[in-house]
Amino acid sequence: MGVTRSLQDSVLVGRLEWFVNWARKSSMWPLGFGLACCALEMIAAFVSRYDLSRFGMEVARPSPRQADLMIVAGTASKKMLPAVLRIYEQMAEPRWVIAMGACACSGGIYKNYAVVQGIDRHLPVDVYIPGCPPRPEALLDGILQLHAKVMQEQSIRNPRITHIKAAPR
Amino acid sequence: MNQESMKERLLSRFDRDVVTDAVEFRDQISLTVAKDQIIPVCRFLKEDPELGFDFLSFVAAVDRRPAEPRFEVVYQLYSIEHNHRFRIKALVEESADGSASIDSVVGIWPTADWHERETAEMFGITFKGHPDPRKLLLPEEWTVHPLRKDFPLEGTEQDTPDLPVKGG
């Protein structure tokens, strides 16, 4: 093998932190769930035309225990919120959240009593993707932004908040 | 059977104090029915062979605040057999404590069950004699009626919290 041959007589030195971050961002498995119309754009980003697997993300996990990334794709109604928080709690750390679309970012056009006015009232959001709905390119860009953010992280003893926020009163 | 003859058929059976008003708009007639006579009127609409309204398409309400009486409960009827439609309304006044009530028509059309549950929670109108008067869409612990005109659009943190309040 070419790689083995070229590495045979050498020692590679690098930062463990960089390596851990690189491994995390290169196989970040998203949770396969969607709340509303944004989920269709997310599905479009997964399949062949946009092909998320180019970024090591083709395995959307149906189980939160195997997922690293929650893409909140769509309108979170107040009846749905307890289920979303429960799924998030079941994800193993480290875990990341993308708020996809205007509704997940801020409630969007649903400025009313039935819809959570932004999922960041309850979840620690890493990347916000505006749009109604955002095109798959926008989701890809958001994911790449998250990858860049992960590469900047302190992977060992990370002070990042990953717990659910208390509801503002 | 056209709209005019449906109206005549109802008026031939019920007095003027039962069928109180008829409004025609774009070739459709809306009959207003006295609220305490809603059951006999609906039963006649369903069981009369010429009318034959065997299907209740929809039940909803309208908040006419500040008009009096405040609420209208609207019944959209359809006859599968004759392929014709009709609309009746009942005016429901708001009592001093903010409640309102009308008889349930679930006994006539079972499909009214969920329509009346939704109307009940959204407008705070009690459907007397409803077999299962739980909430349909809203969280069980909410006490507000979001489709009333005096309800604030976004609700409040106290009345419509994001999450169920524990131990509240």
List the single residue in B139, B152, B154 with the smallest CB-CB distance to A79. Answer: B139
- CA dist., res. A163 & res. A132, Å (int): 28
Q: Is the peptide bond before A94 cis (omega within 30 degrees of 0)?
A: yes
Cβ–Cβ gap A78/B162 under 8 Å: yes
pLDDT at A169: 43
- How wide is the angle at C-alpha B130 spanned by C-alphas B124 and B135, nearest 5°? 50
* Beta strands B125-128 and B100-103, pairing class: parallel
pTM of the model: 0.80
Longest distance between any two alpha carbons in chain A, whole Å? 66
Residue A1 pLDDT > 60? no
Comparing A145-149, A150-154, B119-123, which segment has the lowest mean pLDDT?
A150-154
Residues B120, A169, A90: CA angle, nearest 5 degrees: 85
> Would you state the torsion angle of the CA atoms of residues A12, A16, A19, A20, taken in this order, to the nearest 10 degrees?
160
By the CB < 8 Å criterion, does B157 face chain A?
yes
Per the CB < 8 A criterion, the answer to whether A140 and A146 are in contact is no
Answer yes or no: is the ipTM higher than 0.95.
Answer: no
User: What value does the mean pLDDT take over residues B98-117?
Assistant: 92
Which residues contact residue B10 at a Cβ distance below 8 angstroms, ignoring those fewer than 6 apart? B19, B31, B41, B44, B45, B51
Q: Do A114 and B161 touch (CB under 8 A)?
A: no
Of B144, B154, B163, the CB nearest to A112: B154
Give first-to-last CA distance, chain B, whole Å: 56
Contact assignment for A113 to B153 by CB distance below 8 Å: yes
Is the pLDDT at A157 greater than 70, yes or no? yes
Average pLDDT of the residues in A136-142: 93
Q: Please name which of A123, A142, A115 lies closest in space to residue A42, comparing C-alpha atoms.
A: A142
Amino acid at A146: L
- pLDDT of B33-79, one tens digit each? 998 989 999 999 999 888 889 999 999 999 998 888 999 999 999 99
Asked if pLDDT for residue A158 goes beyond 90, the answer is no
